[in-house]
Structure 1
Amino acid sequence: MTRVTDLMDVFVCAGCEAVLTAPVVRVPLPPEAHVSCGHEFLPPLMAPGTYAVEPLPSGRPSRMWEDLAESEAAAQGVYAPVYGVSFGPRDRAVVAPGDVRGTVLVPERCGDSCLGVVAGEGPNLVCEACGLPVACREDDCGIWSAVWLEPDAVRRVSTGVPAPVGELTPLPPVEPPGRWSPRWAAATGAALAHLLAASDGGPVVLPDGLVTELLGPAVRALLPAEGPAKQVGLAGPGLPGDDLDIVLVPYGAPPPVGAAAVPLPDGVWSYLALPGETRPIPASGTLPAGVLRDDYPLPDHPWSLLRPDRDAFLYTLARLPEVRSPWLRALYDRVWTSPYGSVF
């Protein structure tokens, strides 16, 4: 597991110092953090015992892109048209609801929702000890279950305890009963944005296998096929990535010298990069020579091709300074103004 820090932290109330979370370790913000998904309840955004920080403004208040000069939007970290530009606080931390301690939900402070809870005009969780509004609880349909801590109302305190050693655990791309994982869709949408920015508008050559299946259709739709091509491949633990121009790496992993990095969440990267089980084997012992099992479970098969999440793609690309280059801004506008799913 990629960690930003090596020590565990807790968050405390800025008003009374009451502890508000279990010990948590900082990890990169998941690419699906600001992407909704269908009309269903979603699991927690963050894994237990972890937190992430959104460095850009998030939440309310927001202003329409049309009402801003591009320099005003750029000051908020947005460089291409979006529906709304947040002028909310920076550096909001997000944790799993199960890691929250000592807070009380105030229903009157929740906004309009469908099947769950969303924040209203302000935080809907208050400190149980002193009543200070400290966080926003969200778990409505289509929204990842999460608690967003208000940066001015909480304080991060290091416990001095080392974080547990994390392992790279592959995340299967297909969920029962056959749909693509929304985390994978968001990850590939965000990765596509970084890949296009690194391409400089020229062709790229993707590695054989699942990477091409995931990104190939979008790359063919958005980048030219002729001209000097940049080589794309996987790099990271155990994979040096030599002779590659663009590398897919786990969040936080340094790319090889001279290569541009396309970050991927640990679970997605490890599924692509680490060898999985390749043949049926018995639970114990060995099979006789020439005998194969006939009860080996088949892998999950998706209903359709995985498409990179359009919203994650646009969200990520709009916040990359490279989108201000004329060719990439034209490409962004093409996707932005096209009907959903018509480009890739």
Structure 2
Amino acid sequence: MDVFACAGCGTELTAPMSRVALPVHTHHGGWEELHPPLMEPATYAVEPRPIGPPWRLWEDVGAEAAARQGVYAPVYSVSFGARNQIVIAPGDSRSMTLILEKCEGYCRGVDGRDGPNLACTGCGRAVATRIDDCGSWQAVWLEPDAVVRRPSGLPAQPPPGWADLERAEHRVPPVEPDGSWSRRWEAAVGVALAHLVVATGNRPVTLPAGPVADLLGHAVARYLPPGPDTRSVGLAGPGLPEPRPRPDVLLVPRHPGTGEPWQPSDGGATVVPLDSGVWAYLAGPGETSPMPATGVLPPGVLRDDYPLPPHPWYPLPAHHRAFLDTLVRLPAIRSPRLRRFHDACR
């Protein structure tokens, strides 16, 4: 396990933590809603792309400079912030204090618009940014040049792997306890759809019957055209039998430790990566009844002596900003066909 310390004075700034994959919903939440922490306790992730201020308008930057920042289609503004920022749960931060003159936000908290707003209590150096405003997952972002990573001295935890997807607690249900769609699901669907548009060249698709079609069908129909010349889509990943014949595109999980998409043994498939928790639910939703049916009741039948679980009245939407934000960061968007699609979406 690792701890991060101030690069200036050596003060430890975090609890011991293990590295995991950056969540796909990191930058995409629900507007004017307060969100829980982005990271699980005792974990951290690294964002390789530049994020945060300073921002420069696309018209001032130009296509070539924007591409060097990882943006391949027009956006309002391009980030020239630091790369490789480290994100942790606020509860894992230590020995940091707010820089009050940099605590601007929208309406319910701070959003980091003025740059780092947390200082090391040992030397006063700006080392991190606390974000907890509405529409943002609560997080502390450590500045890569202001901190150093050190071994904590504690025994290393087993790194997360494909076997974690089989644990019931890894599955992320699509509906929140209050009956609304999960914001994590909405963002995950938006990100996956951007990859699906690129993988199919914005052509029609057919989804496999069951949870994939039931939950993703509405969003896919909104972004991909109907008609002939369809591409088949299937669900694949660790623990699942590979569909035969192989579909044109496979929905696969991201590795919970590295974020890399799962690949079949021959490595010759076109894959669309999904949030591992979302994929785990689609691959095995598990028991849906709080009182499992036994005896003579057939499989899948729910008992009628308890209220039905809450369910939204509208189909699961894709997070539009997550969709566009992912799309402009895929180099294939520069092809004429996909660029026309992107411009129409904007």
TM-score range, shorter chain: 0.7 to 0.9
Contact between 1:119 and 1:138, CA under 8 Å: does it hold in 2?
A: yes
Q: State the alpha-carbon separation in 1 of the partners of residues 73 and 250 from structure 2.
A: 25
- Which of 286, 302, 305 lines up with 2:312 in the alignment? 302
> What is residue 157 of structure 2 aligned with on the other side?
163
SS in 2 for 1:134: strand
Normalising by structure 2, we get a TM-score of 0.87
CA contact (8 A) 1:188 1:214 kept: no
Whole-angstrom CA distance in 2 between matches of 1:162 and 1:281: 39
- The answer as to 2:31 corresponding to 1:23 is no
Matched, 1:312 2:322: yes
Tell me the equivalent position of 1:62: 55
Shift of 1:140: 1.1
Which range is displaced more, 65-74 or 157-166?
157-166
- Measured in 1, the distance between the counterparts of 2:285 and 2:312 equals 21
Shift of 1:87: 0.6
Give yes or no for the alignment of 1:204 onto 2:205. yes
**Given the superposition, is the C-alpha separation of residues 230 and 115 from structure 1 closer, same or farther in structure 2, using an over 3 Å criterion?**
same
- After TM superposition, the structure 1 stretch with the greater mean CA deviation from structure 2, 230-239 or 207-216, is 207-216
For the 8 Å contact 1:133–1:153, the answer to whether it is kept is yes
Q: Write the distance in 2 (CA, Å) between the matches of 1:62 and 1:289.
A: 60
SS of the residue 1:19 aligns to: coil
Deviations 1:177-220 (A, max 9, x none): 22101110000000000111111233322111232234333433
Aligned-residue CA RMSD (Å): 2.4
- 1:245 CA drift (Å): 2.6
Counterpart CA distance in 2 for 1:330 and 1:108 is: 44
How far off is 1:40 after superposition?
Answer: 2.1
What is the aligned counterpart of 2:140 among 147, 163, 181? 147
Q: Name the residue aligned to 1:342.
A: none
| 1:329-344 paired onto structure 2 within 5 Å | 329-336=339-346
- Listed one character per residue, the Cα deviations across residues 22-60 of structure 1 (whole Å, up to 9, x for unaligned) are 122222222222224121211111111211111111111
The worse-fitting range, judged by mean Cα deviation, of 167-176 and 213-222 is 213-222
What TM-score do you get using the length of structure 1 for normalisation? 0.87
Q: Which residue of 2 aligns with 1:118?
A: 111
Q: Calculate percent identity across the aligned residue pairs.
A: 56
Show structure 1 runs of 5+ residues with no match: 1-7, 337-344
Give the aligned residue type for 1:212: A
Shift of residue 335 of structure 1? Answer: 0.8
Which residue of 34, 37, 55 corresponds with 1:41? Answer: 34
In the alignment of these two chains, the number of paired residues is 327
- Give the aligned residue type for 1:272: L
Output one character per residue of 1:219-260: Cα deviation in whole Å (capped at 9) or x when no partner: 334434444433211112202434133222221342222212
Give, in whole Å, the separation in 1 of the partners of 2:61 and 2:12: 40
C-alpha contact 1:280 1:293 (8 A) present in aligned 2: no
